[in-house]
Amino acid sequence: MTTAVELAHLVYQYAGEDQERALNDLSFQIEEGEWVAIVGPNGSGKSTSAKAINGLIAPLRGEVKIFDTLLTEENLWELRRQVGMVFQNPDNQFVGATVEDDVAFGLENQGIPRAEMVARVTDALAKVRMTDFAKREPARLSGGQKQRVAIAGVVALRPKIIILDEATSMLDPKGRKEVIETIRQIKEEAQLTVISITHDIDEAAHANRVLVIKDGAVALEGKPEKIFSYGEELIELGLDLPFPEKLKAALKKRGISVPQEYLTTERMAEWLWTSLSKK
């Protein structure tokens, strides 16, 4: 297996008095092709760790490796090309007058020849299912569509790693679903490594692994089912409680015994159905 991202003992502190360490001996590895969700309370260092992966900040101590290459000042620009970022606010990510111009922007910056640029834009828009919107104005799209266009802009640059920093947090449930489904598809097609920083349990549920970051270090890690079984502690871990867990907690309060393991909404409905029909 190839390691896509390796952070080893990162320490970082923003300038200013009384600043605590934003990263405090942070270490983790992400394998190529993995989808890892990073969760944690606000201010725990999630965005700072993304910035370290992308070389936007230089750690005071520790190492960042991208595909086994140590990130240095010299190779920063080259390595950064392998890492695409999508941010929280869909409205702050547009520069083009039309959707296709917008997706082309990053390619133009890289001096990609016109014919190839057109091919890549067409391909990227197809991947996020926004082909029909190529000539539209980005401002007029829904939140979910805007984030899909932002993702197309990243995909067109053909990175190997994509980092979504709370990219679904400003979207309504429909927009979130659209974006998560889009990520799932392009991840398979383009064999991407995905890092999604999120508070959304459905988004985290799609990951192969969840890392919980607290006070600038990894506090817990495991498969989503394992992390979700922490029940109400999840709120402290920076996740919204999944609906089946909320329901389980409410049933428990009423003295009804419920399964210990994590259940999806569908499994919870099945369980309710069978246990109710026994009565």
The site for ligand ADP (CB under 6 A) is made up of 14, 16, 22, 40, 42-48
Residue count of the chain: 279
Dihedral (CA of 43, 47, 49, 51) sign = negative
Per partner kind, with CB cut-offs from 5 to 8 A, the member of ligand ADP, Mg ion, none near residue 42 is: ligand ADP
In the structure, how many helices (H) and strands (E) does the chain have?
11, 10
Closer residue to ligand ADP (CB): 33 or 62: 62
What is the closest distance, in whole angstroms, from the C-beta atom of residue 218 to ligand ADP in the complex? 13
What is the closest distance, in whole angstroms, from the C-beta atom of residue 23 to Mg ion in the complex? 13
Per partner kind, with CB cut-offs from 5 to 8 A, the member of ligand ADP, Mg ion, none near residue 143 is: none
Closer residue to ligand ADP (CB): 169 or 264: 169
Per partner kind, with CB cut-offs from 5 to 8 A, the member of ligand ADP, Mg ion, none near residue 45 is: ligand ADP
What is the closest distance, in whole angstroms, from the C-beta atom of residue 46 to Mg ion in the complex? 5
147 part of the interface to Mg ion, by CB under 5 A: no
The C-alpha atoms of residue 153 and residue 247 are separated, in whole angstroms, by 39
CB 220 within 8 A of CB 239: no
What is the closest distance, in whole angstroms, from the C-beta atom of residue 166 to Mg ion in the complex? 6
Say how many residues touch Mg ion, by CB under 5 A.
2
Dihedral (CA of 241, 247, 251, 257) sign = negative
Q: At what angle do helices 243-253 and 265-278 cross, to 10 degrees?
A: 30
B/e letters for 46-76, b = 16+ CB within 10 Å, e = fewer, are bbbbbbbbbbebebeebebbbeeeebeeeee
Closer residue to Mg ion (CB): 47 or 145: 47
What is the closest distance, in whole angstroms, from the C-beta atom of residue 178 to Mg ion in the complex? 22
What does the DSSP assignment read for 216-254?
Answer: TEEEEEE-HHHHHTTTTHHHHTT-PPPHHHHHHHHHHHT
User: Three-state DSSP class for 82?
Assistant: coil
Cβ atoms within 10 Å of 96's Cβ, excluding its own: 16
Instruction: Name residues whose C-beta falls within 8 Å of residue 246's C-beta, 6 or more positions apart in sequence.
Output: none
Nearest residue to Mg ion, scored by beta-carbon proximity = 47
- Name beta bridge partners: 214: 217
182 part of the interface to Mg ion, by CB under 5 A: no
Per partner kind, with CB cut-offs from 5 to 8 A, the member of ligand ADP, Mg ion, none near residue 43 is: ligand ADP
47 part of the interface to Mg ion, by CB under 5 A: yes
Q: Choose one: 42-50, 94-102, 117-125, 229-237; the region binding Mg ion (CB under 5 A).
A: 42-50
54 part of the interface to Mg ion, by CB under 5 A: no
What is the closest distance, in whole angstroms, from the C-beta atom of residue 135 to ligand ADP in the complex? 36
What is the closest distance, in whole angstroms, from the C-beta atom of residue 34 to ligand ADP in the complex? 20
Judged by the rule CB under 5 A, the positions of this chain that interact with Mg ion are 46-47
